[in-house]
Amino acid sequence: MKKILTGIKPTWNGMHMWNYFGALKPLFDMDDWKNDVTVFLPDFHSLTSIHNWEVLRNNRERLLKEFFALMPEKSDITVFEQSKINNLNNIVWILNSVTPYSMMLRAHSFKDSQNKNSEINMAVFNYPILMTADIISYDFDIVPVWKDQKQHLEFARDIARNFNKTYNCDIFKLPEAKINEDLLLIPWTDWRKMSKSYDNFIWIFDSEKIMKKKIMTIVTGSETLEEPKNPDNCNIFALIKLFASESKQEEIKQKYLAWNYGYWHAKLELLEIVLDYFKEAREKYNSFENNMDYIYEKLEEWNAKMNKICDEKYEKILRITGLKQKTRG
């Protein structure tokens, strides 16, 4: 059984198709008998850039509602909040003492922000050490990440190794990154990947009206209604493939190849398929709009579970470092 960890930072303002197909769905698919999947909100990490309580609180709530709405009913996933783990930052402090300054100077995340701003805060600089604690305090084996996080995982291994070597112990497991090489290119209203700056992506929890509006702006060929169309060279069909069953895809393909099926029809069909695909999640999301009690109850239970694991690790660290006396008897 492999212990898998993913963190989803509450720095955005909504879950879109790309987050879903690129990060969440692969995670849900991993949640089987071979794996023990945990997801957490690295909300301390958000403090590097968000200093407005309303923004952070709204982002956290929105992300929680979205995640709980999308999580499959029968899943075994544990969800917890970084900021509710009592000893996490004690462990960070101890890890600081075995982390070379020169290593942190090499961090891409820090170098990038240094290029952008005249002054950066210490949270940006210490970011990789907190991220290391997130992973090694609970003995996670595998961390699925995008390529941009690869270096952070290398740091986590190095810091864990440094600690083990310094104290001649093997208390920290060295985590492995599972790098997602092929950034899923999800075509949206044009062939560029969905992104905020192009304003061409769709939020999973957008109203039907807005979803429709976005879908109607998808760029297509200019064949007339009567002309047959090539589904393999069509943005709409590329999206349909993400959502529709094989048989549904085949059915639509035939319509493309026949005549009297316009892009407008395909768009309406896509809208229907997307709404159907996320029907349950959208209903759940709406119910959470009125009442998040269920979410907070589950979080309390899972935060306690993760606190217990972290406390045990911390207890061992205290003895190994000499911060606590030996137990008698």
Footprint on residues 144-163 left by ligand TRP (CB under 6 A):
145, 149, 152
Instruction: Write down the least CB distance from residue 10 to ligand TRP, Å.
Output: 10
E strand or H helix at 128? helix 122-136
Residue 79: Cβ-neighbour burial (10 angstroms; 0-12, 13-18, 19+): buried
Interface with ligand TRP, residue 3, by CB under 6 A = no
- In this structure, what token pair is assigned to residue 131? 């991220």
User: Which residue number has the CB closest to ligand TRP?
Assistant: 7
Footprint on residues 25-44 left by ligand TRP (CB under 6 A):
42
Cβ proximity of 175 and 160 under 8 Å:
yes
Applying CB under 6 A, what is the total number of residues that bind ligand TRP? Answer: 13
Footprint on residues 236-265 left by ligand TRP (CB under 6 A):
none
Give the list of residues 6+ apart from residue 127 with CB closer than 8 angstroms, or none.
45, 48, 107, 109, 110, 152
Q: What is the DSSP string of 186-228?
A: -B-SSSSBP-GGGT---BTTS-HHHHHHHHHT-------TTS-
Footprint on residues 122-141 left by ligand TRP (CB under 6 A):
131, 134-135
Residue 171: Cβ-neighbour burial (10 angstroms; 0-12, 13-18, 19+): middle
Instruction: Write down the least CB distance from residue 145 to ligand TRP, Å.
Output: 6
Instruction: Write down the least CB distance from residue 304 to ligand TRP, Å.
Output: 20
Dihedral, CA atoms, 287, 47, 304, 64, nearest 10 degrees? 10
Q: Binding string to ligand TRP for residues 84 to 123, with x set by CB under 6 A, is what?
A: ----------------------------------------
Q: Which of 17, 24, 143, 252 binds ligand TRP (CB under 6 A)?
A: 143
Q: Which of 7, 22, 187, 231 binds ligand TRP (CB under 6 A)?
A: 7
Q: Which residues bind ligand TRP (CB under 6 A)?
A: 5-7, 9, 42, 45, 131, 134-135, 143, 145, 149, 152
